[in-house]
Structure 1
Amino acid sequence: MKYKMQDKQNQLIERITHEHLVVGVDIAQQFHVARAVNYRGIVVGDPLTFENNEDGFASLLEWINHLISKANFKTAIVGMEPTGHYWLNLSKWLYNHKIDVVTVNPHLVKKNKENRDNTQSKSDIKDALVIADMVKNGYYAFIRPTSESFEQLRVLMSNRDVIVKRLVSSINQINRWIDVVFPEFRQVFKDVKGKGAIATLRLFPTPSDLQSLEPQDVIDGWRTVMPRHAGIHKAHILIELAKHSVGSIQATAAYKLHLEQLLEEFDLATAQLARIEKEVTIALKQITFTDKLLAIKGISEISLAGILGEAGDLSGFAHGNSLLRHAGLHLAEASSGKWKGQIVLSKRGRSRLRRFLYLATISLIVNNPEFKALHTHNVQVKKIKKMKSIMKLIGKLARLLVGMAKRNEAYCPKKLQTFSPIAA
C-alpha cells in the first residue's frame, strides 16, 4: 500500500469541525497568550494572558470551558509552537486534563503572519491568532505522548550529546596543549586518548620532566597506573625526544596546572559517558521490540536509543514515511511551468533523529550484508551517486524499523533482497 501524505493532510483538515473551539497559544518563558477561533477562523472571545504555572494553566482551562459553554462548542483543540522547552509543561498539563494538544511548525507561523491583516506586524496576541488559524486549516501535528521508557531514552540521549561535546572539547584542548609544550609526543603515542598517552601526561607532562630520567624510571612510573605499559623501547624514544623538544619552556607551572584541569575534565566526561551508556542499555531492555531491532546486524544500542528517544514508540507511526517526515528527511521540490528546481531534503524535523538514522544506515552499509548488497547494487548497477543511495537506504531503514515495531516481528533478511544475486 502506497503512503500518500495528502490523505493525512485531508484527515487533519476534516478533523476540525463546527463543534471545535480552536485555541492558539503563543509560548514564552513566563507569560503565555491564548486566542480562540471557530472552524471558519472567526475570532471567539477576548485574548487571555496567563502565567507559566499551575494557576495560569487553570485559568486557561477555565477560559476554554467558558468559551465552549458560551458559544455552544462541544470540545476544544489547543495548538502551540514547540518553543524551546517552555511548551512541555503546558502541553502535558492539558493532555492530563483531556484536552487535545497539537503543535505547529514555527517556520510556518512566521510565513503565515501576514495572512490575517496583510501587514508585517508582530505581537504575542497576533502570533496566538496565527497559530489558531493554522490549526483550523490543518497545519498541525499531534503530540505523541511517550511512555516512561521512551521519555527516559530521550533525556539520556540528550544528556549524552552534551557529555560527548565536553569530551571532544577536552580532547581537542589536550591536543593543543601537546602542540605547544611537547609536539614530539605524537611520535610515540599516535592517539592522545590512549591509556599510555594519558598515563604519560599525568606522570611526565613536560619534556623537562623526562630529560633527567632513565627508561626504567619511565617504566616504573607507568606500572603505578596501568598493568600493561608501552615498553622500554618507547620509553627510550620518549626520553630522547624530550631532550631535543622544541616545545615551550616558559610558564611551565601554569601549563602543568592547565593540563591537570584538562585531564580532570576528560576523566569526568569519560566516567559520565560510561554511566549514561549503561543507563541507556537498561532503558532499552524495558521496551518490548528492541531485542528484535538489535538483532539486525549493524544496529548499535546507541543508534537505536537515539532513534527511539527522538521518535518515541515506532509502532505508533502509520508508515515509515511518517518517521522520515518526523525527522525532516522527506523531499521538497521547487518547480514552476517548464522550470524544474532541485529536489532537496526539507530538514523540517528533528535534527538528532536525522543524525542517528544516518549513522545507523552508514553502520548497516558497512556491517550488514543485505544493506551492503543494496548499496553496491544502487551504485554499480543503477549508477546512483553514493550519497543518494545512502538517502534511499535511510528510507528503507525507516520502513523496516516501523514495520518490525508495528508487527513485533523478527528481522527477515530475505525481505530486503529486492533484486537477484546475479544482477547485484
Structure 2
Amino acid sequence: MNNRSQISHGDKSRNTRLGRLRDLVPVTSAIVGIDLADAKQMVVVCDHDSRVLARKTFRVRAWDLGAALDWAGQKAATAGFAGVTVACEPTGHRWRILGQLAAERDMAFVCVQPLISAWARRGEDLTTDKTDEKDAVIIARLTAQLRCYVPEVVDETWGRLRHLGARRERLVVELTAQVQQMRDLLECVWPAALTAANYPFRSTTWAATMTVILDRDGGDFTRTKRLGLDRLENLVRKEVIRWGAEKPGLRITRNLFAALDDRAGVIAHRRGALERVEFLLADWLETRRRRLEVEQRMVAVLDGLELTELVTSIPGLSAIGAATILAETGDPHRFSSARALVKHAGLAPRERSSGTFVGRTKVTGQGRPGLRLAAWRGIWGTLRVNPVHAARYTHLTTRGHNRLKPTQAQAAVAAALLRQLHAVIVTGRSWDPDVATFGSRRRPVEVAA
C-alpha cells in the first residue's frame, strides 16, 4: 500500500459496500427476519441489538406474506421505528416473491447467505438446535451486523437469459449422459462400431448410418448385409439430412458396413443392447435439436442487448459461449469491478499468510459453480485462437520452478476471460490485445532522429 492514508483498494470497496448496506439497514429501522418455508412462515421484528420486539407464525404461502409485512410494519412503528428492513435467506423462489412484496410497500430488502446462517447457528449455543424461531432471529441478527447482501434486481431480458441458460445446461447434461450410455453399450456388444470413425459421436455420418442400421435390423445385421452397401449409402444420404448435414462421409458408412461381420462383443446381449442404442440415438437427435433451439434464443437475447459484436470481439469466444457465461453472471454492470466477478465465480486466488508463514495459493472454489464451468468451457476456443490467452497459458505452464499445472493455468486463463468480458461490456469497447496483455494501450516508442 503506497497511498498516504494506508487504505487499500479492498478497504475502499468494502467501505462502499458497507455504506450501501447501511442505507438499506439504517438504525432508525427495525429488522424483520423471516424464515421462509412452504406453508409456514416465521416472522420476527427485532431491533439492532437482536432484541425481539414481536414474533408471529403465519401459516400462508409466500404470495400471501403481504399481511405479515403489514403486521411487522405496525409493530415497528409502535416500537418507535421509522421503517423496517426485511431480511430472509434466498430459499428457492420464495425470496423473490418476498422481495416483490417488500418493494410494493417501500420496504428495504436484503438477503443472508444460508452458509453464514449455518455458521452463526453453531456459534449461538452448543446444542446446534435448528428451529424456525431461532433461524428467524439469527437472520435478523446477521442483518443488523451488515452480514447480508443486496440481491440482484433482474429485469425481464436478463432474467430470460438466465432461464434459457439453465435450460441449455440441463440439455448439455442430457446429451453427455446419452453419449456415455451409447459408448458403454457399444463397447460391450459391438466395439467395432466405435472404430468406424475417429470421433464417432462428433460425426453426423456415423450417427445417421447407425440409425439406419439399427432401425432396419434391431441388432440382427442379416437384413443390412442383404441390402448391400450401395443401397445403404442411399439411405444414409437421406438420413444424414435429418441430422443436420448436407452430405455424408461415405468412408465411415463403408467402415460400419464392414463392421457388420465383426463378432467381437457379448453376442448374447447384442440385440437388446443395440435396441437401447437405437432409442438413445433418437433421444440424442431430439436433445440436440432442443439444445440448438435454446442456443438460438440465447443468441437472440444477446442481439437484443446489443452485446453480440462486443463479446465476440474476444478471439475464440463464440456468441453462445458468451451467452452461457452471461446467463450465470447476469448484467456485469452490477459488479463493482472485474475482480468482483471473478470472486463471484470462485476463480479468485485465496491468500494464506500469517507472520512469516506463506501458504499455498489456490482458487477459492466458492461462488457459482455454473459460472466456473461456463468460463472453463469458454477458454477451450480461446486457447486455440486467442494469442493473448495462448501466451498466458504457455507462460504459466513453462515459467521456472513456479510453473503451474495445466488445470491451474486453465483456471487462471478462465479468470482472465471473465475480467476481459466484464471490461468490454462495461466500457462498451471491443477487445484490445494490448489492453488484455498490459492493462492499457502501449504508446508507440519514439525513435530519436
Coarse TM-score class (shorter-chain normalised): 0.7 to 0.9
**Aligned residue type for 2:418:** A
Matches within 5 A, 1:245-394: 245-250=263-268, 254-255=272-273, 257-333=275-351, 340-381=358-399, 383-385=402-404, 386-394=406-414
SS of corresponding position for 1:51: coil
Matched letter for residue 25 of structure 1: I
- Does residue 225 (structure 1) correspond to residue 239 (structure 2)? The answer is yes
62-71 or 323-332: bigger deviation: 323-332
CA separation of 1:262 and 1:354: change in aligned 2, threshold 3 A: same
Alignment partner, residue 401 of structure 1: 421
Q: What does residue 418 of structure 1 align with? A: 438
Deviation by residue 1:243-288 (Cα, 9 ceiling, x = unmatched): 2423444466644542332122112101100100010110101114
The answer to which of 103-112 and 195-204 deviates more is 195-204
* CA-CA distance at 1:372 after TM superposition: 2.5
- Quick one: distance in 2 between partners of 1:228 and 1:362? 28
Distance 2:426 2:255 in 1: 60
Q: Is the 8 A contact 1:178 1:185 kept in 2?
A: yes
Distance (whole Å) between structure 2 residues aligned to residue 11 and residue 253 of structure 1: 68
> Residues 174 and 53 of structure 1: is their aligned pair in 2 closer, same or farther, counting only changes over 3 Å?
same
Contact 1:81 1:106 in 2 (8 A): yes
Corresponding residue number in structure 2 for 1:214:
228
Root-mean-square deviation (Å): 2.9
Q: 1:17 maps to what in 2?
A: 26
Q: Which residue of 2 aligns with 1:95?
A: 103
Report the residue type matching 1:148 in the other structure.
Answer: E
Aligned length: 419
2:4 aligned partner:
none
Q: Which moved more, 1:174-183 or 1:377-386?
A: 377-386
Q: Which runs of 5+ in 2 are unaligned?
A: 1-7, 241-245, 443-449
SS of equivalent residue, structure 1 residue 225: helix
TM-score normalised by the chain length of structure 1: 0.87
Aligned partners of 1:320 and 1:398 also within 8 Å? yes
CA distance in 2, matches of 1:373, 1:24: 51
Percent of aligned pairs with the same residue?
A: 21
Runs of 5+ unmatched residues, structure 1: none
Residue pair 1:213, 1:239 contacting (<8 A) in 2 also: no
Partners of 1:247 and 1:3 in 2: CA distance: 62
SS at match of 1:23: strand
Task: Report the counterpart of residue 200 of structure 1 in structure 2.
Answer: 209
**Alpha carbons of structure 1 residues 22 and 290: separation in structure 2 relative to 1, 3 Å:** farther
* Paired residues of 1:177 and 1:259 also in contact (CA < 8 A): yes
TM-score, with structure 2 as normaliser? 0.83
1:2 to 1:403, Cα distance in 2 relative to 1, 3 A:
farther
State the structure with bigger RCO (CA 8 A, min sep 6), 1 or 2.
1
